[in-house]
Structure 1
Amino acid sequence: MTNPTATVRDLIREHYNNLTQSERKFANSLLENYPSAGLASITVVAANADVSTPTVARMVQKLGFKGYPQFHQALLKELQAKVSGPTQRRENWMTEAPESHLLNRFSQAVTQNLGQTFSNIDPNQFDAATRQLAHPNSQLYVVGGRISGSLATYAFTHFQAIRQRVTHMTSSSGTWPHYLLDMVEGDTLLLFDVRRYETNLLRLAELASERGVTIILITDQWASPVASVAKFTFNCWVEIPSAWDSNIATMMLLEALIAGTQEESWPETKDRYDRLDELFDMTRLFRKFS
């Protein structure tokens, strides 16, 4: 039986080592164009992946589904979740809501989100991403969307203290060509994109990727289309008993990346912190207690 909170992508990753070569071929085909590559009939998806229908049937059973129809429905449900707006999200929660108080349900959902998020992070990928974020010769660009822009601002404030050469891209896509003009191979773009995914962010990522920019994507459990061009993708679980998604797991992951980047370049970062504190004292930004 499948885990009710796991996506099909999660199940493929979990069972990938147990798949045959032909089953992996279908899995890879699905992941390359996820989830739409699995939304047709079993004969069509098998033909598109250049495998047999029995191969597809065997693979979906290994993932824990009774058969292809159940697998197909799971992908459809994920697709519907991707594009759902606040009203539909609230209706989903109210339909499934238990009798306990909202505070209890909220606390439980957030706790589950944190557990799911951090259990699905590859430590090696995390370490590689922090090395990229700390790279002294790489210009770091940070950008977010309509809601995730607040996370981008938070990230920029911290990374600007940690290292040099950090640029906070404005929320107006009309200004993005100006930033793209200065992007060069080896630069880094930290991008936030959660459902409902923004078309302009995908186009920005595609253009930056063509210039050799390393893209680090922070997204939700269903994954923004930007994942197709990102070198590092971090999925955060976001559903809560609300018309809106939660940024708590996303913020926790971001703070872990900030801490990891700080440690990756600590001698230089410590020096920046010390000099920054001197400037704060000179400008009397913070109140002193004696």
Structure 2
Amino acid sequence: MSNTSKTVSDMITARYDSMTRAEKQLANSLLDNYPVSGLGSITAVAEAANVSTPTVVRMVQKLGFKGFTDFQARLHHELEETISNPITKHERMAPNAPGAHILNRFAESVMHNMRQSFGSLDPAEFDAAARIIGDRKRAIYLAGGRITGALAEYLFTHLQVIRPGVTRISTNAASWPHYVLNMNRGDVLILFDIRRYERQLEALARTAAEHGAEIILFTDQWGSPVSKHARHCFRLSIEAPSAWDSSAVTLIVVEALIEAVQGSHWEKTRERMSMLESLFESTPLFRKPVAGE
């Protein structure tokens, strides 16, 4: 991940172990309500962390910024990116849109997103997420937002075939406490949340984590607030020449995860698939070939 594509939170996390005690105190304060916690005056930021203003200056310089003003400019840019609604995003993008056909512009955008995302994706973290999803001693719960709910539904449909104990959480937030009530320590909650992050998903993540659930998060390059509750976090690039964000790379990683889970437990998966096919035979769901066609 290049320095320009890194968020301030990435920079803080990368340097956290080398920070002084006071700098770690400041880092924790900044990350607690990121990025808003860093947008006040330098005095307000220092007081919120109970550190001195020189500590703030030293830390932002260690992160690679010329000074506090430069540091805040990056935070403001991140905030603008994450809260952009589809109209704002389209109007900001359209005047600079290249003249090539939209198909080519989309293809280039998706390939760029893939390079950015796969360049920073940790195979060890991917493998660890696949292992806990494949662990049949753990129940799996999935949820997404207004748009990302479709990705949660897609993964849910496949995991249902691969293993038992998979639940799609209702989009009705009033019903979420009932699902959390059934979660045991070590169960897995898979969440999808991208910019214009949804408060209800953060509330669900926080409550589930307090009950001992382990959270796997699919989010964007800036990172949903859910990430502070997540054991495994896939931060994937979503930019597109459109008023809407792209789910292409997220879907590719989800499909790779599906294969990793089913491939590691193929005999059990194959048995379930065979049983499911027998059940399908008793329904009119799929078109059956007719002799002579």
Fold shared, TM-score > 0.5 on shorter chain:
yes
Q: Which whole-Å CA distance do the structure 1 matches of 2:56 and 2:268 have between them?
A: 52
Structure 1 residue 286: Cα displacement: 4.9
- For 2:236, give the aligned amino acid: C
Once the two structures are aligned, what percentage of the paired residues are identical?
47
Structure 1 residue 260: Cα displacement: 1.9
Structure 1 residue 11: Cα displacement: 3.4
Structure 1 residue 273: Cα displacement: 2.3
Task: Go from structure 1 to structure 2 and tell me whether the alpha carbon gap of 1:78 and 1:164 turns closer, same or farther (over 3 Å shift).
Answer: same
What does residue 115 of structure 1 align with?
115
Q: CA RMSD in A?
A: 2.6
What does residue 230 of structure 2 align with?
230
Structure 1 residue 135: Cα displacement: 1.3
SS of residue paired to 2:245: coil
Q: Which whole-Å CA distance do the structure 2 matches of 1:61 and 1:287 have between them?
A: 67
What does residue 38 of structure 1 align with?
38
SS of residue paired to 2:186: coil
Task: Go from structure 1 to structure 2 and tell me whether the alpha carbon gap of 1:287 and 1:131 turns closer, same or farther (over 3 Å shift).
Answer: same
Contact 1:280 1:286 in 2 (8 A): no
Contact 1:110 1:240 in 2 (8 A): yes
Task: Go from structure 1 to structure 2 and tell me whether the alpha carbon gap of 1:230 and 1:289 turns closer, same or farther (over 3 Å shift).
Answer: farther
After superposition, residues 5-84 of structure 1 pair within 5 angstroms as: 5-13=5-13, 23=23, 25-84=25-84
After superposition, residues 138-217 of structure 1 pair within 5 angstroms as: 138-217=138-217
User: TM-score, normalising length from structure 1?
Assistant: 0.87
- For 1:225, give the aligned amino acid: P
Task: Go from structure 1 to structure 2 and tell me whether the alpha carbon gap of 1:27 and 1:178 turns closer, same or farther (over 3 Å shift).
Answer: closer
* Structure 1: 5+ residue stretches without partners: none
Residue-by-residue CA offset, 1:103-141 (whole Å, 9 max, x unaligned): 333222211111222222222222221111111111111
Q: How many residues align?
A: 289
SS of residue paired to 1:189: strand
Q: Which whole-Å CA distance do the structure 2 matches of 1:225 and 1:14 have between them?
A: 18
Q: Which whole-Å CA distance do the structure 2 matches of 1:231 and 1:187 have between them?
A: 12
- For 2:152, give the aligned amino acid: A
Task: Go from structure 1 to structure 2 and tell me whether the alpha carbon gap of 1:123 and 1:28 turns closer, same or farther (over 3 Å shift).
Answer: farther
Q: Which whole-Å CA distance do the structure 1 matches of 2:80 and 2:201 have between them?
A: 21
Q: Which whole-Å CA distance do the structure 2 matches of 1:40 and 1:96 have between them?
A: 32
- For 1:183, give the aligned amino acid: M
Indicate the larger mover: 97-106 or 29-38: 97-106
Structure 1 residue 18: Cα displacement: 6.6
- For 1:9, give the aligned amino acid: S
Structure 1 residue 52: Cα displacement: 4.6
Structure 1 residue 185: Cα displacement: 1.8
Q: Which whole-Å CA distance do the structure 2 matches of 1:119 and 1:45 have between them?
A: 33
Q: Which whole-Å CA distance do the structure 2 matches of 1:233 and 1:167 have between them?
A: 20
Indicate the larger mover: 207-216 or 61-70: 61-70
* Structure 2: 5+ residue stretches without partners: none
Structure 1 residue 217: Cα displacement: 1.3
User: TM-score, normalising length from structure 2?
Assistant: 0.86
